[in-house]
Chain A
Amino acid sequence: MEFKPKRPQKDLKYDELRIYSDAELHNYTDEELKNLKLKHDIPKLDELEKGPWPSFVADAKQEALHRKKLPDDRVMIPKDVVDDMLGQLELSFDDGETHWKHGGIVGVFGYGGGVIGRYSDVPEKFPSVAQFHTLRVNQPASKFYKTDFLRALADLWEYRGSGMFNMHGSTGDIILLGTSTEQLEPIFYDLTHELDQDLGGSGSNLRTPSCCIGKARCEFACIDTQDLCYEMTTHYQDELHRPAFPYKFKIKIDGCPNGCVASIARSDMSLIGTWRDDIRIDQEAVRAYMAGDIQPNAGAHSGREWGKFDIQKEVIDLCPTGCMAMEDGRLKINNSECNRCMHCINVMPRALRPGVDTGVSVLFGAKAPILEGAQMAVLTVPFMKVEPPYDNLKELIEKIWDWWMEEGKNRERLGELIQRKGLPKFLEVIGVPAAPQMVRHPRTNPYIFWKEEDVPGGWKRDIKDYRQRHKR
């Protein structure tokens, strides 16, 4: 099978795009790096070069030296931007406070988001980070790259920005960290014209959707996470680039309930792959696990002696619904009682596989604490088939956006609106009946709302009628 982009996509060749020559790219020696003297003393940061974990300080120093050795006209923002970035960080350690000014509104024409403006509050000390804006670049689904693209992006960003990245931002974007206002449009021009690549989202809009690795390299994936992610991103480009919402809105797509992109905690709309038929069992492989021929959990615990694999103890007894048993040497699963938690499949991936009648569970409303407290997403649609062009999902999301855009208060996340209006109201909006799957348990208080039309006789009553039966 093959997936195709919605419109023809440029094939990128680094050699045709590049800015720097090989000589310019390899313009320093280890000896020079060892003897590098930065613009500022950074004794605390120097400490962070020690230890085994990759040191961002050591890395940034490479970039600082590389820039320093480029000719003046080969970078469009100051050559010593990384020096000043580190210098200001060191000052922040000394002061125990950040040195970035509040906020900053910058961007590119046509869009209302994608760029996070940032200004130093000590620009006289660190003039090269006086403007230090971030661009969010929409990552390809699951973050697979060709080196041609990464090399070209590295050249572009080193030429017009600091050369410092976050790979990646928590929402998924490639983060280009630090440039001047003047360079934003030229960067955007080359991103779109040469790299065939758009910005991601920021502000009160649809943020950049993201997904797990899915069927590209996982046998658990129940859905085409990348295709779904690409479709939602490209279909809703307007909502992503031009803030029109009460607040931010995130979509994340997990291929199964293991949640490798954490959609249930980190997205307003969480799509989690699942199945509704039976777990596929290979009894031969089950016996191989029991015989010790295959390591449980694909060997995830092999660094410690946990004893011989015991299917009763490690799988059957840990099943949260108790729906598994060994009968006559065969593993039995009562699938109608299974809640698809993935444990047995995770422990015995060669013997057990998700079913083949797959779709997604749709959950809504996850968010971090501000304002009303952290929320995980609430199960709303237990099962939905998801096939291109995903019209059922689009109808669902648009119903929700219509409601939230109308009813949501300023800076009110969807999850908070659901809390304020109640889950029953939300179900009415999306047009689905209430189901016990939506609650952990039914309500404990009896403060129940009824609609007037559901109560015989309605609510209009005359006290005189009442008094005819009941004297004051």
Chain B
Amino acid sequence: MALSQGRLGKYNPEKPTENRITDIGPRHFWSNFPPVIQQNYGKWAYHDILEPGILVHVSETGDKVFTVRCGGSRLMSAENIREICDIADKYCDGYVRFTTRNNIEFMVTSYEKVQELKKDLLSRKYISGSYKFPIGGTGAGVTNIVHTQGYIHCHTPATDASSMVKAVMDELMDYFTGMTLPAHVRISMACCLNMCGAVHCSDIALLGIHRKPPIVDDNIDSICEIPLAIAACPVGAISPAKTEDGRKSVKIKEERCMFCGNCYTMCPALPLADKEGDGVTILAGGKISNRISEPKFSKVVVPWLPNNFPRFPEVVDAVKKIIEAYASDARKYERIGDWAERIGWEKFFEKCDLPFTEHLIDDYRLAYDTYRTSTQFKFTGKAWEVSRAAGGIDD
């Protein structure tokens, strides 16, 4: 038993199906559980958050397991994983886990070990200064940003993922290492509106969007299944057409296209990425849990901000505005969406100091359900603007 070496290792391309093992699935979880987890499986009585990033779970048997949670960059090297393994070998008998938000959790069975581990983790920094294993991400704070591939690996993004996440987390570090908010704030990021991940259901969501229709490549007939491209459009903006020399193609009703990019997903001859056009939309108020209120979709609150690489200052600024307004105004246990719905979205925009534009008014199919069909509203500056424009008031 050893990993193979040489160009093709033990794989024989002459006999591809010989010795092929398939359908074995993942490795089984049980042997990956540390002994204290195995012994107390299903017997946990309660937990406490001792300090930001540090949890203790207490079993009915009296056993305790302490967890130290660290931020991870998700995109990580073999070198990084080896360092995680070094730490896990030194303090955790060779066990480690990752969370559903891509944080890293080290588990130990004594509080003394927590202290040693904590000291060690915080002492580890990259040569250029950033923490390798910042401790936090628990309780009522901001934890890791669930994100996507961006320009690192994907062909349909309208922005980059890893860089935006780094830029935002740098500015929100105090919320990662603290628990000072009314409830936890989940931030997520997707580089196009396929929304791989959690953008449609997060407290704050950052989303890459386009603003220009696709360009039709004249070889479309040879590289695309044209009916698939036509069927890919949610708004019916694509129809079959012929080029001047009689080849099959498509035409795009530009005024009907809202730049979703799904036709490009289906057809390589319809690229739409564009330096000036592409940018970032911000959504807010989504949640997954059923706690108090039902799960909610996030709502668009900033229609577009520029892709200002590498640090996205406009995006960072808008995220901070939302979090700071929420932190100062919301009640204990209120998620951002709960808060916005209680005070009314008109107040959300006022308190977060975000402009409201026509882009934020839904106009897709079931849009009517999102309009206000009541006289229950609060007066904000925006209401007076309307009154002035309509001739309702003079001042």
Binary interface profile of A, 85-105, with partner B (CB < 8 Å = 1, else 0)?
100110011011111111100
Binary interface profile of A, 262-305, with partner B (CB < 8 Å = 1, else 0)?
10111000000000000000000000000000010111111110
Residues of chain A lying within 8 A (CB to CB) of residue B96: 144-145, 147, 150
Give A279 Cβ to nearest chain B Cβ, in Å: 14
User: Are A265 and B179 in touch, CB under 8 angstroms?
Assistant: no
- Interface size of A by CB at 8 A reads 165
Q: Does B321 contact A (CB under 8 A)?
A: no
Binary interface profile of B, 245-261, with partner A (CB < 8 Å = 1, else 0)?
00000000000000010
Give B213 Cβ to nearest chain A Cβ, in Å: 15
User: Are A140 and B32 in touch, CB under 8 angstroms?
Assistant: yes
With A62-B80, A92-B151, A166-B74 as given contacts, are A217 and B29 in contact (CB-CB < 8 Å)? no
With A110-B22, A165-B77 as given contacts, are A97 and B170 in contact (CB-CB < 8 Å)? no
In angstroms, Cα B335 to Cα A336, docked, is: 27
- Surface stretch bound by A, among B1-9, B112-120, B347-355, B372-380: B1-9
Kindly identify, within residues 197 to 231 of chain B, every residue whose CB is under 8 Å from any CB belonging to chain A.
Answer: 197-201, 228, 231
Residues of chain B lying within 8 A (CB to CB) of residue A411: 228, 231-232
Say which residue of A54, A116, A341 sits within 8 Å of B290 (CB atoms). Answer: A341
Give B245 Cβ to nearest chain A Cβ, in Å: 24
User: Are B47 and A265 in touch, CB under 8 angstroms?
Assistant: no
Q: Does B381 contact A (CB under 8 A)?
A: no
Q: How many A-B contacts if CB must be within 8 Å?
A: 490
In angstroms, Cα B14 to Cα A338, docked, is: 64
Residues of chain B lying within 8 A (CB to CB) of residue A265: 198, 200-201, 288, 295
In angstroms, Cα B41 to Cα A221, docked, is: 10
Give B295 Cβ to nearest chain A Cβ, in Å: 5
Kindly identify, within residues 29 to 55 of chain A, every residue whose CB is under 8 Å from any CB belonging to chain B.
Answer: 30, 33-34, 44-45, 47-55
Residues of chain B lying within 8 A (CB to CB) of residue A168: 74, 98, 102
Q: Could you give 24 example pairs across A and B, Cβ below 8 Å?
A: A1-B41, A30-B127, A50-B170, A57-B166, A85-B152, A96-B273, A100-B155, A102-B268, A103-B155, A140-B26, A146-B94, A151-B81, A155-B3, A185-B16, A190-B3, A192-B20, A197-B27, A261-B100, A264-B290, A341-B291, A368-B200, A371-B232, A410-B228, A411-B231
User: Are B42 and A376 in touch, CB under 8 angstroms?
Assistant: no
Closest residue of chain A to B67 (Cβ to Cβ) is A217
Closest residue of chain A to B159 (Cβ to Cβ) is A96
Interface residues on B, range: 35 or more
With A147-B96, A298-B49 as given contacts, are A376 and B295 in contact (CB-CB < 8 Å)? yes
With A44-B309, A53-B131 as given contacts, are A217 and B65 in contact (CB-CB < 8 Å)? yes
With A62-B79, A96-B309, A233-B25 as given contacts, are A370 and B274 in contact (CB-CB < 8 Å)? no
Residues of chain A lying within 8 A (CB to CB) of residue B181: 304
In angstroms, Cα B125 to Cα A34, docked, is: 13
Q: Does B297 contact A (CB under 8 A)?
A: yes
- Surface stretch bound by B, among A343-351, A383-391, A395-403, A452-460: A343-351
